[in-house]
Structures are given as structure tokens and as C-alpha cells.
């Protein structure tokens, strides 16, 4: 390992108790079946759920039209879907019928909403972070940052975490007051990842930061990624997986504070804007080279590659033995997890840059045209 890959902070030694807590929290199957509360479904942002989270055969159940693009993943809780649009609104829609319950005026929304304890949290392109009552759609409070917010929120105990283009990761309390902040050297694009009492953030400073939640975000380690990151990191145990704009996917041993393997396509490499989904054996990730790939979790070697007809910025999800991935070609693909071959696909009304959400037997995904699709079992 070259010295350029590593930058340690003196406190980089982590306790065994913290590691044990992280290994439990990072279980890819930890998502509650009836909810998808944060960007990738759970605090470690793994994007993976058990096979019985969706029916074997999916059909379109309903669709809802916003007035502009849906760039984030929906949040789902208590039978309601929450999603933002660049039409400057946050929407609440009934999961069963697709009927609008309320809409909330904000700025253009690219971030994925997050849900907890009766409140919906989302940032907008004006740099305003909103807390909205989930039942009424009324504002509870707002917090102003210095730049655009594309990061979704995550939660640590009763604290709320999110990043901003003002080069800051923020930690707020339930009333919207700042508890602490961590300054990076570049905009924070993706959502913070949480495992046990650690949070992880990667951004345009080309580094993966490991922060201690018990010590007001004190930095424990910083690992050089050799490229800026727009993606959200996924954590399983003491390993973390993240793609970069430098056309690479990295495994990071965050316990040791060092890089593991690195994957780079041999031909026509393009940036990885999509966030990875992680299973026991594979890391599944999309790229702007139009491919969805399954990488061996132990070695980083390519196990399979599936070519779409458009860039893949949408972060795939894994549902048991299936991979579900959207593409800018306007299709939502269902692939076999083991081999990467196409099982079926759905034609949508526009390209998919937002990411799917899975909850209560339903699959939800938005398009560039502002349409939210809901798939499930035939009625």
C-alpha cells in the first residue's frame, strides 16, 4: 500500500465494542419490510433486502406525475411514499393507491427524503434542509446551509446527519439545532453512512472520512480514494464500498483505515456515480459506461457485467436473487444476481437517475419526466 493512499489520524484505533455494534447494524437484511426510511433502505446504506420483500412477478400498479424530474429515491413509511421533485415540491402519496395526500413547497429537490418518527427530512438546491410533519405536510423547522444539498439524511440515535455542497457534514438535533459539523475539502454529494457509533462520508475532496459519533464527529481516519466521490458508501462489517468519478470502485477497511481492493474497467472506463448494493458475496454497482456490474466482494474481480443502452447513475437494489437497476435509456431492468443476465425489464416514460425503493411488497422509482412508478403483485 503506497503512502499516498493513507492518511491517519492519531485516534484511528477503534474499540472492539464499536466494531461489534457495527457488524450487527450493517446486516444487509436489516431493512424493515414495510419501510424504506433512508436513501439505500438502511443506515449502513447497503441497498439490499431479502427475497420476500417483493413478489416474484411485478406489474405496474399505479403512477403519479410531478411537474419535473425525480432525482432521488423515495422514502416509505406507514403506508405512505415521500419523494421530492425538481418542481420545488416534496410529495406524500398513498402507497396503496398512488393518491396524493399532500405537497410541501421547497426549492428544487434532488436529494432523497428520509423518514423518522413522524417527520420527513429533505434538503433542496437552495441549501435549505427541511423537517416536515409526515401527517400534515406542514413545516416543523428549516436549517440553512451555504450551498445546494443533494445528500439524503441519515440518523444516529436522535441526531440527524446530512451533507451539503458547502463542504460540510452537519449533525442536528430533533429540533433543528446544530450539534456539530465536520468540514471537508470539497462538496459532499452522497448521503452519510451510519454503522454503530461511526459515520462515514466521501465527497469531492477525494477522501473517505471515518467519524466518531460519540465525540461530536471527531475524525478517526481519512483514506485517500484517488478520485472524487458522488456516490454514497455502503458498509458491511469492517468493510466499506464506494465508487468514484475517477472510474474506480474501492473496498476500504475502515477499521484499519486503508484501501483494500480497487476495481477499474479494462475498456472505456467511465465514472461511478451510482451507489453500490452489497450482498454476502457481491458488490453490485452501475456506471456511466452503461453497465451494471457484479463484483466479487472478496477480490473486487468482475463476476458479471450487463450492458444497458444508457448511463447508469441510478443506484441498483438487490432483492434476494434479483438486481433491480434503472438506466438513462428509460428502462428498469430486473437481472439475475448470480449471473447478471436479464430476467425482464419495464419501459418507463423517461430516463432513470433516481434510485429504487422497496417496501411493503412494492417497488418505487422515479424518472426524469417526473413520474413515480409503483410496481407490485397483480391485484
pLDDT digits (tens, 9 = 90+) for 209-223: 999 999 999 999 999
Q: What is the pLDDT averaged over residues 186-207?
A: 94
> How far lies 367's CA from each of 129, 162, 323, 333, 337, in Å?
23, 24, 18, 14, 24
Q: What is the CATH number of the domain that holds 297?
A: 2.130.10.10
pLDDT digit string, tens, across residues 85-117:
999 999 999 999 999 999 999 999 999 999 999
pLDDT bin (cut points 50, 70, 90) of residue 32 is low
The 10s digit of each residue's pLDDT in 300-334 is 999 999 999 999 999 999 999 999 999 999 999 99
Q: Any residues with CB less than 8 A from the CB of 13 and at least 6 apart, and which?
A: none
Distance CA(167)–CA(146), nearest Å, equals 9
Q: How many domains does the chain have?
A: 1
Q: Tell me the per-residue pLDDT of 234-286, one tens digit each, with 9 for 90 and over.
A: 999 999 999 999 999 999 999 999 999 999 999 899 999 999 999 999 999 99
pLDDT at 10: 32
Neighbour order of strands in the sheet with 234-236: 234-236, 239-243, 249-253, 258-263
Predicted pLDDT of residue 203: 86
84 pLDDT above the threshold of 90: yes
Neighbour-count burial for 275-286, b at 16+ CB within 10 Å, e otherwise: bbbbbeebbbbb
Sequence-separated (6 or more) residues with CB below 8 Å from residue 186: 167, 203, 204, 205, 206, 228
In sign, the C-alpha dihedral spanning 233, 234, 237, 240 is: negative
Residue 14's pLDDT is: 35
Give me the domain span that covers residue 335. 3-376
Does the pLDDT at position 195 exceed 50? yes
pLDDT digits (tens, 9 = 90+) for 256-267: 999 999 999 998
Residue 142 reports pLDDT greater than 50:
yes
- Lowest-pLDDT range of 28-37, 117-126, 299-308: 28-37
Q: What mean pLDDT value characterizes the chain?
A: 92
Angle at 350 between CA 344 and CA 352, to 5 degrees: 70
pLDDT the model gives residue 379: 75
Amino acid at each position: 500500500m503506497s503512502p499516498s493512499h493513507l492518511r491517519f489520524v492519531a485516534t484511528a484505533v477503534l474499540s472492539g465494542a464499536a466494531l461489534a455494534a457495527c457488524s450487527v447494524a450493517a446486516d444487509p437484511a436489516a431493512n424493515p419490510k414495510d419501510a424504506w426510511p433512508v436513501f439505500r433502505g438502511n443506515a449502513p446504506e447497503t441497498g439490499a433486502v431479502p427475497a420476500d420483500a417483493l413478489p416474484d412477478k411485478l406489474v405496474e400498479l399505479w403512477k403519479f406525475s410531478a411537474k419535473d424530474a425525480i432525482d432521488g429515491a423515495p422514502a416509505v413509511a406507514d403506508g405512505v411514499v415521500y419523494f421530492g421533485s425538481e418542481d420545488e415540491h416534496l410529495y406524500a402519496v398513498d402507497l396503496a393507491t398512488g393518491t396524493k395526500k399532500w405537497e410541501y413547497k421547497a426549492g428544487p429537490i434532488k436529494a432523497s427524503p428520509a423518514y423518522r418518527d413522524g417527520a420527513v427530512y429533505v434538503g433542496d438546491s437552495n441549501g435549505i434542509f427541511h423537517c416536515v410533519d409526515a401527517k400534515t405536510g406542514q413545516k416543523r423547522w428549516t436549517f440553512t446551509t451555504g450551498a445546494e444539498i443533494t445528500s439524503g439524511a441519515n440518523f444516529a440515535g436522535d441526531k440527524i446527519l446530512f451533507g451539503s455542497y458547502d463542504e460540510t457534514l452537519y449533525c442536528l438535533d430533533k429540533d433543528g439545532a446544530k450539534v456539530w459539523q465536520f468540514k471537508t475539502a470539497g462538496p459532499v454529494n452522497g448521503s452519510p453512512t451510519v454503522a454503530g457509533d461511526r459515520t462515514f462520508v466521501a465527497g469531492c475532496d477525494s477522501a473517505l472520512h471515518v467519524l466518531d459519533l460519540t465525540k461530536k464527529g471527531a475524525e478517526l481516519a481519512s483514506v485517500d480514494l484517488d478520485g472524487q466521490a458522488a456516490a454514497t458508501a455502503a458498509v458491511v462489517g469492517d468493510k466499506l464500498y464506494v465508487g468514484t468519478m475517477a472510474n474506480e470502485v474501492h473496498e476500504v477497511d475502515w477499521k484499519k483505515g486503508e484501501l483494500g481492493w480497487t476495481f477499474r474497467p479494462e475498456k472505456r472506463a467511465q465514472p461511478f456515480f451510482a451507489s453500490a448494493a452489497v450482498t454476502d458475496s457481491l458488490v453490485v454497482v452501475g456506471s456511466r459506461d452503461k453497465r451494471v456490474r457484479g463484483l466479487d466482494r472478496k477480490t473486487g474481480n468482475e463476476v458479471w457485467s450487463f450492458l444497458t443502452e444508457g448511463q447508469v447513475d441510478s443506484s441498483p437494489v438487490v432483492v434476494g436473487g434479483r438486481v433491480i437497476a434503472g438506466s438513462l435509456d428509460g428502462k428498469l431492468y430486473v437481472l439475475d444476481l448470480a449471473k447478471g443476465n436479464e430476467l425482464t425489464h419495464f419501459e418507463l416514460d423517461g430516463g432513470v437517475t433516481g434510485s429504487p425503493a422497496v417496501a411493503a411488497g412494492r417497488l418505487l422509482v422515479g424518472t426524469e419526466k417526473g413520474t413515480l412508478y409503483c410496481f407490485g403483485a397483480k391485484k
